[in-house]
Amino acid sequence: MVKIAPSILSADFSQLGKDIELIERFGADFVHIDVMDGMFVPNISLGIPVIKSIRKMTKLPFDVHLMIEKPDRYIEDFVDAGADIITVHYEADRHIDRTINYIKSFGKKAAIAINPGTPVCVIEELIGEIDMVLIMTVNPGFGGQKYINYCSNKIKNVKQLADKYNPNLLIEVDGGINDNIIKNVVDCGANVVVAGSAVFKNGDVEQNINRLREALI
Ligand code: DX5
Ligand code: ZN
């Protein structure tokens, strides 16, 4: 079963609690939370106090995508704030193996994200050690961008490695996913799909999530 992880980056921040209730009601599996520091990516989004405050709104797992430099500095804070899955970027951390083990030491799920321009082979040895790989299918920093086509091959590569080293691996795709492309990424091997603008557009979360699910049939 494919999991849907709406990115609250595209929610209405003036009524974040209400938007989270809506995605839970209409069948989201994870809440995808994009944390940006204005250094690793050219945008600043939200951080630890916001996560803490929305934690009480839902029982859904918090899938926290850290687009920040040297994420190891803040892992414990994100654990305390209520993160269930913590994703760090391969490109943002010199000691990714250490950071993964650090995340796991809190009993949380550890994931590595790779940018579109980063080849899958750099994380080959780590696939057996982690819970999830996040394949960026746009350059991180902003919602509402266009899916980069060559990333479909990278999803297939990760799927092959997962079959070999870690059959339970969650394979998440993030960026530019809509009802036109979702079937393609799932056929390539993705089993967790992030969608921001496609879930929150036109203020009709129910219809938007239904459209994504129907496109998978
Ligand atoms: C981009 C973020 C994504 C983004 C997805 O840096 O990691 O999660 O919000 O938004 P859409 O689905 O609109 O591309
Ligand atoms: Zn994200």
For the chain, the structural domain boundaries read: 3-215
Place of tokens 């203020």: 203
Between the two ends of the chain, the Cα-to-Cα distance in Å is 11
Task: Please say whether the beta carbons of 30 and 83 come within 8 A.
Answer: no
Q: Give residue 214 CA to ligand 2 midpoint distance, Å.
A: 23
Longest CA span, the chain: 45
Splitting the chain (217 residues) into consecutive groups of 10 residues, what average pLDDT does each group show?
98 98 98 98 98 98 99 98 99 98 99 99 98 99 98 98 98 99 98 98 98 97
pLDDT at 198: 98
Q: Is 107 annotated as a binding residue?
A: no
Task: Please say whether the beta carbons of 145 and 165 come within 8 A.
Answer: no
Which CATH architecture best describes the domain 3-215?
A: Alpha-Beta Barrel (3.20)
Q: Is 95 annotated as a binding residue?
A: no
The verdict on the CB of residue 159 being under 6 Å from ligand 1 is no
The verdict on the CB of residue 87 being under 6 Å from ligand 1 is no
The verdict on the CB of residue 9 being under 6 Å from ligand 1 is yes
For residue 79, the SS3 value is helix
Instruction: Indicate which atom in ligand 1 lies nearest the CA of residue 43.
Output: 6
Q: Which residues are CB-contacts of 38 (< 8 A; sequence separation ≥ 6)?
A: 44
What residues are labeled active site?
34, 174
Q: In terms of Cα–Cα distance, which of 40, 18, 20 is closest to 32?
A: 20
Instruction: Indicate which atom in ligand 1 lies nearest the CA of residue 9.
Output: 9
pLDDT at 154: 99
Q: In terms of Cα–Cα distance, which of 82, 77, 75, 137 is closest to 111?
A: 75
